[in-house]
Structure 1
Amino acid sequence: MPCSLRLMAPALLTTLLAVTAPAAHARPDAPDYQSQVVQNRAYVMRHELGVQVGVLPMDAFTKGVTVGGSYTLHFSQILAWELVQFMHSFPFDAALKDDLASFDLRPTPFETVENLLSTNLVFKPVYFKGSALNRAVISGEFMVVLGGAYAWFTRSKRPGLDYGIGFRVFASRLFSMRLDARHMMFFTDGAGSGVDVHHELWIGLGTSISL
């Protein structure tokens, strides 16, 4: 290599670094995208009329089959008020009661539910959309309910509280199916022994019409 080229090489390298370094430094960083929900609800409810059938399985001796109806006002996509739900219970004896009768034994008589009335705040935090067997697109939501209740028993009437969860699948804009599970607590004066609490578990399957 001639002497002149050897002398020019460091100068050329310095010039190249001076030109490319600012451009590399000025390269914009990758944008920091925030995670956002992009899936809108397929169906937005306002007035909901529902009918339900269910069971009251907690009593060891007498179970209940319930039939009822409800009306719910939806304020937004995540908040609603189930203004009223009324249910009537049809009692039937469990197998344990028949087993005791075969030994000429009688269970301690406990009160059973005849009618239930409740009002609940409904929170709908989760909406989903998916595929059913790769043949149809389904959408639905998960719900949490909390509210007050009143029950007519065989020998008394009791106020109470209830809370639970629900799951809904939309069939169309008008119709949907839902599954609910609720724990109910009813209170009464225990005649000097403090407050007596009666617990009930209700599991119900229903259909709703959106108006």
Structure 2
Amino acid sequence: MRFLLLSLLCLVPGLARAQAEELENPGTVSAVQDRLYRMHHELSLGVGVLPADAFYKGLIGTVGYTYHFSDSVAWQVGRGTYSYNVQTSLRRQLERDFDAAPTATAFEDQVQWMVGSDLMWSPLYGKTSFLNANVIHFEVFLLAGGTVVKVDRSDGFRPGINLGLGVRMFSSQNVSFRLDVTNNTVFAGASRIINVPTVQIGTAFNFGATE
């Protein structure tokens, strides 16, 4: 009995401490803030480059309209891109030194313009600070859709698949800035595939969104 009483007396302080800690720390509470900015009707204007082809570089301008069904799902209903092409030094050297024909297949695959439509999924939205001075709200989105590409050939309308990744930074409820990096896999016929990557930055104007 003495041993039992001594054991109980030793346990009492530990139980009291445990109860006190439970009262001081009732549990971990986490909260997820709602989005500050929401999108609805989006008109986007962008400029960029077609960087990959060895024989030319394209300077592109793009206009698009996107309808946002929710915070995470949207449909880029239409986008149109025009490319102003600049010959590289490699192409000029081939034509000058090796008398390469300007109508060669590789030279005729230059993109003139593209139109297409994409689904957008935005799985990530957050905010961060810049130099502890400004709070920046941003989202990351994925793109997948179809494209029709006009190349230099006379029969040069080609279908393609567009896949890409983008980042949006919000300036206000009505204005945001986008960086889009995409790749158009173009089916050029005769089992030939052309990859047309694009890198562009743009400004997006948002209309009709509610808090």
Check whether the contact 2:108–2:151 (CA below 8 A) recurs between aligned residues: no
Structure 1 match to 2:132: 134
Give 1:10's aligned residue: 2
Structure 2 CA distance for aligned equivalents of residues 44 and 132 of structure 1: 22
Taking a change above 3 Å as real, the CA distance of residues 24 and 37 of structure 1, as seen in their structure-2 partners, is closer
Q: What is the Cα deviation at residue 10 of structure 1?
A: 3.2
Q: Report deviation, 1:115.
A: 1.1
From 74, 78, 94, give the equivalent of 2:88: 94
| Secondary structure in structure 2 of the residue aligned to 1:44 | coil
Structure 1 partner of 2:170: 170
Partner Cα distance (1:37, 1:162) in 2: 37
Cα offset for 1:102? 4.1
Whether 2:188 is the aligned partner of 1:196: answer: no
The alignment's C-alpha RMSD in Å is 2.9
Letter aligned with residue 192 of structure 2: D
1:119 and 2:117 are equivalent in the alignment: yes
TM-score for the superposition, normalised by structure 1: 0.82
Q: In the alignment, which residue of structure 2 is the partner of 1:143?
A: 141
Deviation at 1:41, TM superposition (A): 1.3
Q: Deviations over 1:44-76 (max 9, x none)?
A: 111110001111112111111111200111111
The corresponding residue for 1:3 is: none
Per-residue CA distance 1:79-107 (angstroms, 9 max, x = gap): 11111111111111012122324424326
The separation in 2 between residues aligned to 1:105 and 1:75, in whole angstroms, is 55
Change (3 A) 1:139 1:149: same
Which residue in 2 is equivalent to 1:183? 183
Q: Structure 2-normalised TM-score?
A: 0.82
Aligned to 1:72: 66
Take 1:50 and 1:94, find their aligned partners in 2: how far apart are those partners?
30
Distance in 2 (CA, whole Å) between partners of 1:197 and 1:161 is 11
Greater displacement, 180-189 / 140-149? 180-189
Within the alignment, does 1:209 sit opposite 2:200 as a pair? no
Aligned identity (percent) is 31
Matched residue type, 1:149: T
Distance 2:76 2:31 in 1: 27
Which segments of 5 or more consecutive residues in structure 1 lack a partner in the other structure? Answer: 1-8
C-alpha distance in 2, partners of 1:125/1:47? Answer: 19
Paired amino acid for 1:187: F
Q: Secondary structure at the match of 2:91?
A: helix
Shift of 1:187: 1.2
Alpha-carbon distance in 2 for matches of 1:142, 1:188:
31
Higher-Rg member (1/2): 1
Q: In the TM superposition, what whole-angstrom CA distance separates every residue of 1:153-200 from its partner, at most 9, and x where no partner exists?
A: 11210111010100111111111111110010111431xxxx221110
Of the structure 1 ranges 104-113 and 144-153, higher mean CA displacement relative to structure 2 is found in: 104-113
1:15 to partner: Cα distance: 9.1
Deviation sequence 1:107-137 (CA, Å, 0-9, x none): 6333211110111111111112111122211
